[in-house]
Amino acid sequence: MNKYTFSTQTGKAYYCNSIPGFLNDKSASIIGQLVRHSFEVNKEQSDAWDNQISQLQAKLEECGVEGDIIFEYDIVRLGKRIDVILLIKHIVFSLEFKNGKNIFVAQDAQQAEDYAIDIKNFHKESEDLYVCPILIATNAPKYKKEQSIDCYPDKQIFLQRENMDTFTPKLTSIIERYGDNEIIDFEKWFNSPYHPTPTIIAAAVEAYTSHDISQIAQSEAGQDNIDKCEREIERIINYARDNHRKCVCFVTGVPGAGKTLVGLDVVAKNLNKGKDNLSVYLSGNGPLVEVLREALKRSVKEKMSKESKEVKRETETAINTLIQSSYSFKKDNAKNVLPTPEHIMIFDEAQRVWNEQKMTSKHEKDPVMSVSEPHLLFRIMDRHEQWAVMICLVGLGQDIYDGEVGINEWFCCGIDDYKDWEMFYSSAIFSQTEDKNIDKDKILSCERCHQVDSLHLKTSVRSFRADKQCQFVDYLLDNKPDNARKIYEQIKEKYPVYITRDVEVAKKWAKNQVRGSQRCGVLACSSAQRLKPEGIYVPKDIDVKNWFLAPSDDLRSSNMMEVVASEFKVQGLEIDWAVVCWDADLRRKNLNEWDHYYFHGTKWLHRNKEEQKRYLVNSYRVLLTRARQGMIIFVPKGGDPDEDPSRYYNFYNQIYEYLIDCGIEEMIKGE
């Protein structure tokens, strides 16, 4: 008799029971439940389940263990189902079955470990439990290499590779080492809230394969912000459609709060609403567009292996249509007199739009483009006769290019030039943007400007290990070492940050943190030109798609740590573990402020313009906020100024001493 129900979260698993109840349950009955909850079940899948059930019943009875068992457990938001979960002696076992396989494949091992990582890092009730991933290749001989049953500091036990004969003794040995008699509350564990914060890449794949990325526990603060924001956007879209209005929505938020995710959600949720509700996601961030598209295409290839070339080609075209570079969109639509197919336009990093001067210089042969970027986008979307919505995602402290006009231009265009448009914004827009020219009085006095505070995302969800990571970086770059030190003490256990003078120590540390499909990489500022003696070259261009997406053994992969990525290539994207290399372009002027340089010819030259200084600081802000789980900062030792004045050791020592003053701990060789 199955004592468990699905009363609280229907569909979260296909079958669950106590282990004694499972042993007494008939295989046909269990398969019936699995089939009832699943879709498109074929005989191969049914036979696989029958094999798993019969072998697990025999082995678990042999062990004599008690606990709970779950089949096809859903990792919400990440779009994954784990074959079998065992909850025994306060330990979570995650089993990945490969029925009939006679070898252990690296890809299967990565999949099995990824599931355990997901449970450990995204499942609230497993945070303090031991979690053990086991890959079971049912027909494989005993794994030849010795397998340690040690665990990582976060209580994730090392991956175990077993067949059905070695599974039982391995399960017993792990229980003997890590188990205790405290009972896991099954209902609490099964219905645990989640805190998944997938990378933007994973979110895009999820968005366009399932068309629903809102399945996440409502108790998580960051997601609650996102849900409220998306509901408000949906209300505004419905208002515009039903009342034949044209609206602009400004979504603001702290770094990592999920603005891009909101934009991707809007596109996904409108895919099934018909051609009159099409939306397009635009970004001026070329690498972001490139990586998002490539991630989706690779996902499509995996899921459409049996489809015709024509269908695959059409799908790839659809991906290119849904996610576009703003440059291409503007160029295609600037001269067109017809409205775009999309009634809804999402524009990411709206604070980084170009002013009229920059647009004119970039499009000298095209006078129609000689207006500010917001003005051009208003003109394009205004061609819709009945309704249109522009959703502007506004970031903070990320402007790294010249010619960026800021958010005020959007409001000026809407208020002065396009009087049919209504604007919706949060009051935080006045404090969250760096645009000093923003005309608050003009906005507040305009009847078509509406204040809606749910359009501000106030909680960072970028790093599931440390919500205060961005605050630490801000204090560090804002010359507030005392404040940075206090935040560092709060985050260092869950979001480790180290400093070293040895780049090989940094690379080794980052590589050693990587598990499963996680990524590490080397980052440096585009103006960091005197890192070359350390073997660190910062190219102007890299194969960004493969840097973020290629397998770890691919030389182009970030995990090989050979190709260095600059702020221009990683802005808006993330890796798990970062080596951030610090050069003398941003150095200490005195105890209280930074000094700003660029390298020209054979020497460093001072940056005098305030905006150029800000671009440099923001470049480092981008680099220091790319890692989701932890980072190590490399500061060279420099050298004798008589031999090479461009690498004077004082430049680097002062940077190092300041970062130490911010509380960052040094990583010593051999640790």
| N-term to C-term CA, the chain | 53
CA distances (Å), origin 490, targets 153, 219, 473: 18, 22, 13
The two tokens of residue 33 are: 């439940």
> How does pLDDT run across 623-663, given as a tens digit for each residue?
999 998 899 999 999 999 999 999 999 999 999 999 999 99
Closest CA to 285 of 526, 621, 571: 571
CA distances (Å), origin 437, targets 195, 357, 395: 38, 17, 16
Same fold, 200-457 and 469-666: yes
> How does pLDDT run across 372-405, given as a tens digit for each residue?
889 999 999 999 999 999 999 987 655 545 555 6
**CATH hierarchy code of domain 469-666:** 3.40.50
> How does pLDDT run across 210-263, given as a tens digit for each residue?
433 333 222 234 567 888 999 999 999 999 999 999 999 999 887 667 788 888
Evaluate whether 94 touches 157 at the Cβ level (below 8 Å): no
Q: Please give the Cα distance from 348 to 204 (Å, whole number).
A: 14
Q: Please give the Cα distance from 154 to 117 (Å, whole number).
A: 10
pTM for the model:
0.77
Does position 78 have pLDDT exceeding 70, yes or no?
no
What strands lie across the sheet with 80-88, from one edge to the other? 15-18, 68-75, 80-88, 91-98, 130-137, 160-162
DSSP secondary structure code for residue 153 in this structure: T
Give the domain ranges of the chain: 15-190, 200-457, 469-666
- Fold annotation for 200-457: Rossmann fold (3.40.50)
Q: Please give the Cα distance from 666 to 36 (Å, whole number).
A: 55
On average, the pLDDT of the chain sits at 84
Q: Which of 456-460, 551-555, 558-562 has the lowest mean pLDDT?
A: 456-460
407-421 average pLDDT score: 91
C-alpha dihedral, 499 to 500 to 505 to 511, nearest 10°? 20
400-418 average pLDDT score: 77
> How does pLDDT run across 465-516, given as a tens digit for each residue?
446 888 899 999 999 999 999 999 999 988 999 999 999 999 999 999 999 8
CA distances (Å), origin 261, targets 206, 264, 279: 11, 5, 15
Paired sense of beta strands 246-253 and 421-425, if any: parallel
Closest CA to 34 of 84, 86, 4, 72: 72
Evaluate whether 218 touches 227 at the Cβ level (below 8 Å): yes
